[in-house]
């Protein structure tokens, strides 16, 4: 708050000094003005002016002394404030509250808005790099799943977290509460981070902003600054956690991914295992929609309708 108020306070001081200088100049000018000639101007106007002039002249010296004194006091206060600021700089911005929401792995499906309000059985992916490798990815510390919209990135991430959370409840799972991830934040005192897997889920990473005292940065706009801040955030987690896992997803049909794909050789992204998740095959899409149909009460989809639903849900062309 102090950082926000400091600049307006300076502006108010400057305006005050300028205004008082103008008033002083007007008071000095009053002495040089003659009384209004009633023969040249309306009598009522002249009477008002002559009355005001008489009052100003009566208190002329006192007004000048008080205003000049105010200017001197304002200047001295300004200089004193500047000197104090150099000796005692402003304290750092107060740390934000813990910006991550703790969740159970079993709650993740319900928490993601683009999933149905009930769990549809997971359809194992046919591609070798997808579900077939989930078990092998279980021990990877950092994973980035890239794929077009509707390719199942989030579901793959959730299924991987379920494998890490074995037996159920052993893992701590966190996802950002907001789309801005602050570099500094307060750690919760009621959570034990040691001696258990801690999973940080960053779903749709291109939508987030990383923030420090100097600004906020998006992956597709300020990639270098974004990586710098996120690296510090993850370092803070590593210092507190014995077993930290970071699972991120990113849409590969965005400008952010086009820029990110050119930076995969940088130090930050070299620590990530990159999974390029392809679109669902027709067989996978039909299996999912058939499983979805089984969950819908009093609705029976024909095979043609199931294919249409698969085409819509998975954005197939």
Determine the pLDDT at residue 238.
93
Listed residue (222, 215, 207, 205) closest to 183, CA to CA:
215
Q: HSE (CB half, 13 Å, CA atoms) of 215?
A: 8
Decide: 117 and 110 in contact? Cβ < 8 Å: yes
Determine the pLDDT at residue 115.
57
Q: What is d(CA 297, CA 33) in angstroms, rounded to the nearest whole number?
A: 93
Split at pLDDT 50, 70, 90, the class of 64 is low
For the ranges 47-51, 253-257, 260-264, the lowest mean pLDDT is seen at 47-51
Pairing of strands 209-212, 215-218: antiparallel
6 - beta bridge partners? none
Q: What is d(CA 131, CA 235) in angstroms, rounded to the nearest whole number?
A: 29
Q: Which pLDDT tens digit goes with each residue over 150-209?
A: 888 888 899 899 999 989 889 999 999 888 898 888 898 888 888 899 999 999 999 999
Determine the pLDDT at residue 110.
76
Give the mean pLDDT of 81-87.
47
Give the mean pLDDT of 10-14.
64
Split at pLDDT 50, 70, 90, the class of 49 is low
Determine the pLDDT at residue 230.
95
Size of the chain, expressed as the number of residues it contains: 317
Listed residue (71, 67, 81) closest to 27, CA to CA:
67
Burial class (CB in 10 A: 0-12, 13-18, 19+), 201: buried
Quote the strand ranges of the chain, DSSP E. Answer: 100-103, 142-147, 172-176, 180-182, 197-202, 209-212, 215-218, 243-251, 273-276
Domain 100-279 top-level CATH class: alpha beta
Listed residue (314, 253, 252) closest to 282, CA to CA:
314
Determine the pLDDT at residue 1.
33
- pTM higher than 0.85, yes or no? no
Greater confidence (64 vs 261) lies with: 261
Q: Which pLDDT tens digit goes with each residue over 271-297?
A: 999 998 888 777 777 777 777 777 766
SS3 246: strand
The DSSP secondary structure of 65-119, one letter per residue, reads HHHHHHHHHHHHHHHHHHHHHHHSPPPPPPPBP--EEEE-GGGHHHHSTTS-SSP
For the chain, the average pLDDT equals: 75
Listed residue (169, 229, 243, 167) closest to 200, CA to CA:
243
98 C-beta neighbours (distance < 10 Å), count:
16
Split at pLDDT 50, 70, 90, the class of 270 is very high
Greater confidence (33 vs 275) lies with: 275
Scored b (16 or more CB within 10 A) or e, 36-70 reads beeeeeeeeebeeeeeebeeeeeeeeeeeeebeee
Q: Which pLDDT tens digit goes with each residue over 122-136?
A: 777 765 444 446 777
């Amino acid at each position: 708050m102090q950082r926000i108020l400091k600049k307006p306070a300076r502006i108010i001081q400057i305006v005050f000094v300028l205004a008082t200088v103008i008033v002083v100049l007007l008071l000095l000018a009053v002495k040089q003005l003659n009384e209004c000639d009633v023969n040249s101007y309306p009598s009522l106007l002249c009477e008002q002016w002559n009355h005001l002039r008489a009052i100003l002249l009566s208190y002329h010296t006192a007004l000048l002394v008080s205003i000049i004194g105010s200017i001197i006091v304002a200047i001295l206060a300004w200089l004193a404030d500047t000197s104090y600021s150099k000796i005692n700089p402003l304290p750092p911005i107060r740390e934000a509250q813990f910006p991550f929401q703790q969740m159970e792995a079993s709650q993740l499906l319900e928490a993601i808005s683009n999933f149905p309000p009930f769990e549809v059985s997971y359809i194992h992916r046919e591609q070798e790099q997808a579900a077939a490798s989930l078990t092998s990815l279980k021990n990877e510390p950092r994973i980035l799943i890239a794929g077009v919209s509707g390719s199942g990135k989030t579901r793959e991430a959730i299924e991987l977290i379920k494998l890490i959370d074995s037996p159920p409840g052993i893992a701590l799972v966190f996802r950002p509460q907001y789309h801005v991830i602050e570099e500094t934040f307060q750690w919760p005192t009621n959570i034990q981070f040691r001696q258990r897997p801690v999973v940080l889920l960053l779903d749709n990473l291109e939508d987030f902003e990383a923030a420090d005292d100097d600004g906020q940065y998006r992956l597709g706009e300020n990639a270098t600054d974004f990586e710098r801040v996120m690296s510090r955030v993850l370092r803070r987690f590593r210092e507190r956690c014995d077993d930290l896992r970071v699972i991120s997803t990113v849409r590969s049909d965005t400008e952010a991914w086009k820029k990110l794909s050119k930076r995969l050789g940088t130090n930050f992204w070299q620590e990530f295992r990159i999974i390029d998740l392809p679109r669902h095959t027709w067989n996978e899409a039909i299996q999912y929609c058939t499983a979805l149909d089984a969950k819908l009460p009093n609705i029976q989809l024909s095979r043609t309708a199931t294919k249409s639903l698969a085409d819509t849900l998975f954005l197939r062309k």
